[in-house]
Amino acid sequence: MGRCTIDHSQEDTLKKLQEQRDYLPVSLMESCEIFLRRPLGQETLNEVFHLLKKYDLATEKERLERNQQLEKLLG
């Protein structure tokens, strides 16, 4: 994924998470919700937003990679 110059707010990132709720594994969805309710830096918000962006259109392999990246961030 390329680097984006747009800063995404916490609200926008939570909204993106809700849009992808039906496609994410339940445990990851729940962990992301909790994570995104904390104060986070702009770089982290942008990274989470872009991992969620078009998640529903990603291949199974791409989803697994994104899941791993999200889990690493949440860790």
Binned at pLDDT 50, 70 and 90, residue 1 comes out as very low
Instruction: Give the range of the structural domain holding residue 39, as residue numbers without chain letter.
Output: 10-74
Residues contacting 2, CB < 8 A, separation 6+: none
In whole angstroms, what is the distance from residue 18 CA to residue 23 CA? 10
Q: Is residue 19 part of a domain?
A: yes
Which pTM was predicted? 0.90
The answer to whether position 51 is within a domain reads yes
Three-state secondary structure call for residue 31: helix
pLDDT of residue 40: 95
pLDDT for 2-44, tens place per residue? 556 789 999 999 999 999 999 999 999 999 999 999 999 999 9
Number of domains into which the chain is organized:
1
In a domain, 54, yes or no: yes
The separation between the first and the last C-alpha atoms of the chain, rounded to the nearest angstrom, is: 21
Helix (H, G, I), strand (E, B) or coil at 57: helix
Domain contains 1: no
Looking at the domain assignment, is residue 3 inside a domain? no
Q: Is residue 2 part of a domain?
A: no
Would you tell me the crossing angle of helices 26-35 and 10-19 to the nearest 10 degrees?
Answer: 170
